[in-house]
Amino acid sequence: MALTFSGVVSSMTKEISLEHVWVEFGEFTAVHKANLNIAGGEFFSFLGPSGCGKTTLLRCISGFQEPTRGKVRIGGEDMKGVGPNKRPTALIFQNLALFPLRSVADNIAFPLEVRGVDKKTRRKRADELLELIALPGQGDKKVSELSGGQKQRVAIARALAVEPDILLLDEPLSALDLKLRQHMRTELRAIQKQVGLTFIYITHDQGEALTMSDRIAVMNKGKIEQIGDGRSIYDHPTTSFVASFVGENNVLDGTVLSNDGKVMQIDAGMGTPFTVESHPAGGPALAPGDACHLFIRPEALRVSRDDSSVNQFETNFVTEEFEGNMRHIMMNTNGKDLKLSLINDGTNAIDANSPVKLDFAPELGIALKPGELASA
Amino acid sequence: MRDLFYDLVRRNGMAVCIYLMLAVSIWVFLLIILPQLTMLDYSFRFNLPPAKIGGPEDVYTLEQYRYFFQGSGASDGINTLDIGILFKTLLSAVFVTIFDLIICYPVAFVLAKSSTGAKARLLVLALIVPYWINEILRAFAFRILFGATGVINETGMGIGLWDTPIDFIREDVALYAGLAYAYILLMIFPLYNAIESLDRNQIEAARDMGANWWQVHAKVVIPYAKPGIASGMTMVFMLTSGALAAPQILGGPSNLWFTQLVYQWFNSGGNWPRGSAYAMVLLIVCIALVLLVMRLFKVSIGEIRQ
């Protein structure tokens, strides 16, 4: 995609802040005290299962939903009572909501048309934007003549037509097929870098959130569970929900035996107690005797080379899923299922008929207060 | 055509198919085409006493149409009275149609986009219930409502808006109100159907991109609902210009609706050929007007069918 974009880069990227935002529909609380700041120029994602309140939060920012309590500020200004047509935001809908009766150029120029810009200027701007989204000279086509990915780009061009400060994207890639989705991830990120706008992205797809975002807010049942960059969300989840929702995880019920602030001893019913690091991100502290969830990612487990490694335990082979580059092996110890993911590099022979010894590094085990787990 | 028939037989069986074909044929030929053809035939004949029908004087003629254009006077005269009534009827029908559109569009929009489930069904029911009452009864009810001592005059004078009763009947207010009311559902439902299928996100997208409410309707909803608007307007216009009961009951004494002329020729005038000719004139002018307006607004008949 040719990214020659003149005149759109906004020097005044605006910060967004949500201050104690609650949204209630009758008895149902859709958003539960959301508190966060999004910096100007940031690519920020809300990640969560459907019904977690992320779309409602987006509608609060775009102005289609007034918070029951709390404030939405854009560039420091309170947005209460400011309609969606008066906010410096542009929303890209899940189904794109292109106007089927208008040509591609008339779609892109719609925001200019309603602002009374004359026809010639509108056309010129539409052509510029078509250039940006690598569809030059296609302005006279009907929307229905475009492919899925092209429609996607037209929707982006239409949103950028009046140089908004913030682009809001509501699962815009979910209707595309896998290959195109992966391609559009890269493109979206590139457009964002190019135009320097704040992107707020809603998704239930953790792959999209992790690959594109500067920061991610993981939501569940109206609450923001954790905010951080992709690495901290994946490597250092602070709640059981985040640990189980983002990526795959093995979860074991355990009891804390000791915690000296650096390492914890945990009995997870796997024979010898496990040693894991105390939470480096400063999650809720666990005291001896506390129940806990112990999370070990499938890729953190490894086949023991010798008998002296820490956190070593015996398992039995159940079944294997072969994915080509990866081997996903289901193991079982004392009635507990564990998933083990290994790179298919020819090593790691697993004997299906005799016990296998596995271990994991203390820094890769995450012990958290028991909480709600994401349903698979 | 043959494929269509075989497809129908395969799906529904021969018995159902024959029944359908027969029912449709009887409906179309016996109940629509045949009477209209007879009417057309009548309109080209002289009004003869029964004894002379079929005799040597019973020949085709343009006399009845000539009468509509030139009247009974000299051969170069113009029948300004009847032509005037036709124009006034058409103009009034256009006015009633536009009035209905203005009233019904907001109702249809709210019904289609703002109300859900039970609330929408209740609204639809509230719209339909008044039509369980006979059309003539409704017209008389309007006459009472708009009469010199009717609710409207009493209320208006009671709160001091005017001092002497307004003759709503003579001013044709009662007639326009009655006609607008009579066909309101035929406007609401096509509009509702058209707007209902519009994706809500389209409206929100337009809002989000800076359109005010007026622009949302002018640039997104109305263009999308155009076939529904055309269909509703066609139906209301055709039925209004062909209405008889409401003008008969609610019309002012000095004003005739064109259908009343037709009725007079058939009934008190006892001149069926002339009545037929007048009815044909009304039908052709109405169809021509509808086609012209559709062409002007670039709506095709195929679109209306949806």
CATH code of residue A357: 2.40.50.100
- Confidence grade of residue A49 (pLDDT, cut at 50, 70, 90): very high
Q: How far apart are CA B243 and CA B205, in angstroms?
A: 43
* B212 contacts chain A (CB < 8 A): yes
Q: Tell whether A1 is covered by a domain.
A: no
* B116 contacts chain A (CB < 8 A): no
Confirm if B241 and B113 have CB atoms less than 8 A apart: no
Which amino acid belongs to residue A236?
Answer: H
Per-residue model confidence (pLDDT) at position B120? 83
Higher pLDDT, B217 or B143: B217
Answer yes or no: do B208 and A110 touch at CB < 8 A. no
Confirm if A45 and A202 have CB atoms less than 8 A apart: yes
Q: In Å, how far is B220's CA from the nearest CA of chain A?
A: 8
- Same-domain check for residues B238 and B285: yes
- Same-domain check for residues A217 and A139: yes
With 60 as the cut, is the pLDDT of residue A20 above it? yes
Q: Tell whether B239 is covered by a domain.
A: yes
- Same-domain check for residues A139 and A265: no
Using a CB-CB cut-off of 8 Å, the residues of chain B touching A110 are 206, 209, 211, 219
Chain A, chain B: beta-carbon pairs less than 8 Å apart: 59
Q: Tell whether A26 is covered by a domain.
A: yes
Q: Tell whether B64 is covered by a domain.
A: no
Answer yes or no: do B209 and A110 touch at CB < 8 A. yes
Answer yes or no: do A85 and B211 touch at CB < 8 A. yes
- Same-domain check for residues A307 and A336: yes
Angle between helices B14-25 and B2-12 (to 10 degrees): 130
Using a CB-CB cut-off of 8 Å, the residues of chain B touching A106 are none
Answer yes or no: do B204 and A64 touch at CB < 8 A. yes
- Same-domain check for residues A32 and A116: yes
Q: Tell whether B60 is covered by a domain.
A: no
Q: Tell whether B201 is covered by a domain.
A: yes
Q: Tell whether A292 is covered by a domain.
A: yes
Q: Tell whether A375 is covered by a domain.
A: no
SS (H, E, C) B77-114: CCCHHHHHHHHHHHHHHHHHHHHHHHHHHHHHHHHHHH
- Same-domain check for residues B32 and B175: no
Answer yes or no: do B224 and A115 touch at CB < 8 A. no
Q: How far apart are CA B258 and CA B84, in angstroms?
A: 9
Domain boundary among A235, A254, A280: A235
* Structural domains of chain A, count: 2
Q: Tell whether B159 is covered by a domain.
A: yes
CA dihedral B143, B144, B149, B154 (to 10 degrees): -100
- Confidence grade of residue B74 (pLDDT, cut at 50, 70, 90): low
Pick from A86, A93, A114: which is nearest to B215 by CB?
A114
- Same-domain check for residues A129 and A147: yes
Per-residue model confidence (pLDDT) at position B303? 66
Comparing C-alpha atoms, which of B161, B197, B173 is closest to residue B99?
A: B173
Q: Which residue of A has its CA nearest to B220?
A: A99
In this predicted model, what pLDDT tens digit does every residue of A150-172 receive, in sequence order?
A: 898 899 899 988 888 999 999 88
In this predicted model, what pLDDT tens digit does every residue of A297-312 receive, in sequence order?
A: 999 998 888 887 889 9
Q: Which residue of B has its CA nearest to A160?
A: B209
Q: Which residue of B has its CA nearest to A158?
A: B209
- Same-domain check for residues A123 and A230: yes
Using a CB-CB cut-off of 8 Å, the residues of chain A touching B220 are 99
- pLDDT above 70 covers a percentage of chain B that reads 96
Q: Supply the CATH number for residue A38's domain.
A: 3.40.50.300
- Same-domain check for residues A330 and A230: no
In this predicted model, what pLDDT tens digit does every residue of B35-54 receive, in sequence order?
A: 999 999 989 988 888 888 87
Confirm if B162 and B156 have CB atoms less than 8 A apart: yes
In this predicted model, what pLDDT tens digit does every residue of B271-305 receive, in sequence order?
A: 899 999 999 999 999 999 999 988 888 877 766 65
Kindly list the distances between the CA atom of residue A61 and the CA atoms of A200, B63, B233, in Å, as whole numbers in the listed order.
10, 74, 41
Give residue B17's domain range.
1-41
Q: Tell whether A3 is covered by a domain.
A: no
- Confidence grade of residue A71 (pLDDT, cut at 50, 70, 90): very high
- Same-domain check for residues A190 and A276: no
Q: Which residue of A has its CA nearest to B207?
A: A85
- Same-domain check for residues B229 and B136: yes
Q: How far apart are CA B298 and CA B134, in angstroms?
A: 37
Q: Tell whether A221 is covered by a domain.
A: yes
Answer yes or no: do A93 and B201 touch at CB < 8 A. yes
Domain boundary among A192, A220, A235: A235
Per-residue model confidence (pLDDT) at position A148? 85
In this predicted model, what pLDDT tens digit does every residue of B180-212 receive, in sequence order?
A: 998 999 999 999 999 999 999 999 999 999 899
Q: Which residue in the block uniquely carries the two structure tokens 């920020």?
A: A44
Burial class from Cβ neighbours inside 10 Å (0-12, 13-18, 19+) for residue A175 reads: middle
- pLDDT above 70 covers a percentage of chain A that reads 95
- Same-domain check for residues A95 and A219: yes
With 70 as the cut, is the pLDDT of residue B138 above it? yes
Q: Supply the CATH number for residue B195's domain.
A: 1.10.3720.10
Q: Tell whether A352 is covered by a domain.
A: yes
Determine the average pLDDT of the residues in A337-357: 84
**Taking all residues of chain A, what is their mean pLDDT, rounded to a whole number?**
88
In this predicted model, what pLDDT tens digit does every residue of A104-115 receive, in sequence order?
A: 999 999 999 999
Q: How far apart are CA B77 and CA B69, in angstroms?
A: 8
* B214 contacts chain A (CB < 8 A): no
* A5 contacts chain B (CB < 8 A): no
Domain boundary among A174, A207, A235: A235
In this predicted model, what pLDDT tens digit does every residue of A196-233 receive, in sequence order?
A: 889 999 999 998 999 999 999 999 999 999 999 999 99
Q: How far apart are CA B280 and CA B42, in angstroms?
A: 10
Q: Tell whether B51 is covered by a domain.
A: no
Pick from A64, A95, A110: which is nearest to B199 by CB?
A95
Pick from B202, B208, B219: which is nearest to A85 by CB?
B208
Q: Residue B122 gets which letter from DSSP?
A: H
- Same-domain check for residues A269 and A170: no
Using a CB-CB cut-off of 8 Å, the residues of chain B touching A115 are 210
- Same-domain check for residues B233 and B154: yes
The region of weakest confidence among B87-91, B164-168, B176-180 is: B164-168
- Same-domain check for residues B155 and B29: no
Higher pLDDT, B74 or A139: A139
Comparing C-alpha atoms, which of B107, B290, B96, B306 is closest to residue B188?
A: B107
- Confidence grade of residue A284 (pLDDT, cut at 50, 70, 90): low
Give the CA angle between residues A220, A224, A229 to the nearest 5°: 110
Answer yes or no: do B204 and A91 touch at CB < 8 A. yes
Q: Model-level pTM greater than 0.80?
A: no
- Same-domain check for residues B32 and B78: no
- Same-domain check for residues A119 and A87: yes
The region of weakest confidence among A121-135, B191-205, B243-257, B292-306 is: B292-306
Count of CB atoms within 10 A of residue A284's CB? Answer: 11
* B299 contacts chain A (CB < 8 A): no
Q: Tell whether A313 is covered by a domain.
A: yes
Higher pLDDT, B145 or B114: B145
- Same-domain check for residues A229 and A274: no
* Structural domains of chain B, count: 2
Give residue A95's domain range.
16-235
Residues 6+ apart with CB under 8 A from A25: none
With 50 as the cut, is the pLDDT of residue A11 above it? no
Q: Strand A166-170 relative to strand A89-92: parallel, antiparallel, unpaired? A: parallel
Q: Tell whether B46 is covered by a domain.
A: no
